[in-house]
Amino acid sequence: KKRIGILTSGGDCPGLNCVIRAVVSHATLTFNWEIVGIPYATQGLLERQTIPLNLHGWDLRGIDPLINMGGTILGSINKGDTLASAKEILASYEALGLDALIAVGGDGSLKIIHELSNLGNWNLVAIPKTIDNDVALTERSIGFDTAVNTVVDAINRLTFTAASHDRVMIVEVMGRTAGHLALHSGIAGGADVILIPEVPYTIKGLCNHLSQLRDQWRRKFAIVVVAEGATPCLEDLDNVASCSSAKCGRGQYIADQIASCSSNLIDTRVSVLGHIQRGGIPSALDRLTATVFGKTAVDLIAQEKYDQMLAWQNGQAVAVPIQDALDKSPSLVEPNSDLVQIAHSLGIYVGEN
């Protein structure tokens, strides 16, 4: 009988509890293994803490809360000088009597756990999660779809108020160095402008586009989606003394630039969606992905196939070497990708001029 540990690491997102549910169900029902949760990822390992996980641990009239609960019941950490305590953490794996470890994380946290695993020969299986969707070699990461839906919902709401007041609404979305979240939600939400880190844009191009919308297409309002990592072309920055590089692409900066290029004629408002994008009930797609990844992770352990990450490729879950995925991460938006081209074709300003 195997004893398997599971942990969630890095920023939380909707769908993590669905993975835990699938792992516990399949491992218990099919293999009769013992599953223990490690709270707060490497912090819990360091402190040798475990949470027993079983199918019927919920006193909720038989309702299983894990399928639709956001966040992670195991807790998570997004930082930590983990490698400084590597020796102690490595010893914990042995001390806890684990036969294998399932780590659910984004590229940053998986990198740390994989490094530890290499030092200590852990039997590791990784599952990708991130609202940034920047883990390489997988078409889907848990949490991304829900976050896209959350942003689209926000854009829907903002569109009505923008149209009522003839305003330009700037919506700042997360994504770190990647523009996937902004691009997907901007196209799905019907945005007029999408600014992402991977495609250079100019304030002039942005302002021209807004003028064109107003003068030629008789649109009195606009929706501008800006990824938190987006920065304009360097030549624009020469004219903007107050723009420190970390703030250049941010929503308020864009609003200020629009105000200045329109001589304050365009009325702007900024919505920074922030951690709202990380919360909420997981979408059906995230639940399915999480369930398939969780179940397949258990199968990999049954086959003693370790050092693998689950990836979604061509409509199914496959195993890829963790190292290969991490080597190619973060995976950014390809400026010539279909989705960027589609946005251009629809008359959305995505930069490049």
Confirm or deny that 347 is annotated as ligand binding. no
Confirm or deny that 276 is annotated as ligand binding. yes
Backbone angles phi, psi at 279, to 5 degrees: -100, -175
CB of 264 to ligand F6P, least distance (A): 31
Q: How far is CA 171 from CA 45, 155, 189, 226, 304, in A?
A: 39, 8, 11, 6, 46
CB of 262 to ligand F6P, least distance (A): 30
CB of 288 to ligand F6P, least distance (A): 21
Task: Return all residues near 230 (Cβ < 8 A) that are at least 6 apart.
Answer: 179, 182, 195, 196, 197, 201, 249
Confirm or deny that 279 is annotated as ligand binding. no
User: From CA 128, how far away is CA 19, in angstroms rounded?
Assistant: 11
Query: In this chain, which of 15, 175, 330, 351 binds ligand F6P, going by CB under 6 A?
Result: 175
Confirm or deny that 1 is annotated as ligand binding. no
Residue 132 contacts ligand F6P per CB under 6 A: yes
User: From CA 211, how far away is CA 189, in angstroms rounded?
Assistant: 21
**If 0-12 CB within 10 Å is exposed, 13-18 middle and 19+ buried, where does residue 222 land?**
buried
> Angle, to 10 degrees, between the axis of helix 107-120 and the axis of helix 86-95?
70
Confirm or deny that 228 is annotated as ligand binding. yes
Binding mask 311-350 toward ligand F6P (x if CB under 6 A, else -) reads ----------------------------------------
> How is residue 289 written in tokens?
């992905």
Confirm or deny that 15 is annotated as ligand binding. no
- Based on the residue annotation, tell me whether 132 is a catalytic residue of this protein: yes
Using Cβ positions, the residue closest to ligand F6P within the complex turns out to be 174
Instruction: Mark 176-209 as b/e (b = at least 16 C-beta within 10 Å).
Output: bebbbbbbbbbbebebbbbbbbbbbbbbbbbbeb
**Please, are residues 280 and 292 in contact by the beta-carbon 8 Å criterion?**
no
Site for ligand F6P in 42-71 (CB under 6 A): none
CB of 301 to ligand F6P, least distance (A): 27
CB of 214 to ligand F6P, least distance (A): 32
Query: In this chain, which of 18, 19, 131, 162 binds ligand F6P, going by CB under 6 A?
Result: 131
**Quick one: 8 or 50, whose CB is closer to ligand F6P?**
8
**Quick one: 139 or 235, whose CB is closer to ligand F6P?**
139
CB of 328 to ligand F6P, least distance (A): 17
Tokens 């991304």 map to which residue?
Answer: 144
Residues 246, 114, 98, CA angle at the centre, nearest 5°?
135
Q: At 220, which helix (H) or strand (E)?
A: none
Size, binding site for ligand F6P by CB under 6 A: 11
Task: Return all residues near 219 (Cβ < 8 A) that are at least 6 apart.
Answer: 192, 213
Site for ligand F6P in 155-174 (CB under 6 A): 174
Site for ligand F6P in 9-28 (CB under 6 A): 11
Confirm or deny that 157 is annotated as ligand binding. no
**Please, are residues 43 and 74 in contact by the beta-carbon 8 Å criterion?**
no
Q: Per CB under 6 A, which region of 39-47, 125-133, 159-167, 200-208 contacts ligand F6P? A: 125-133
- Residues in the site for ligand F6P, rule: CB under 6 A? 11, 78, 106, 130-132, 174-176, 228, 278
Active-site residues, by number, are 132
- Residues annotated within the binding site for Mg(2+) are 107
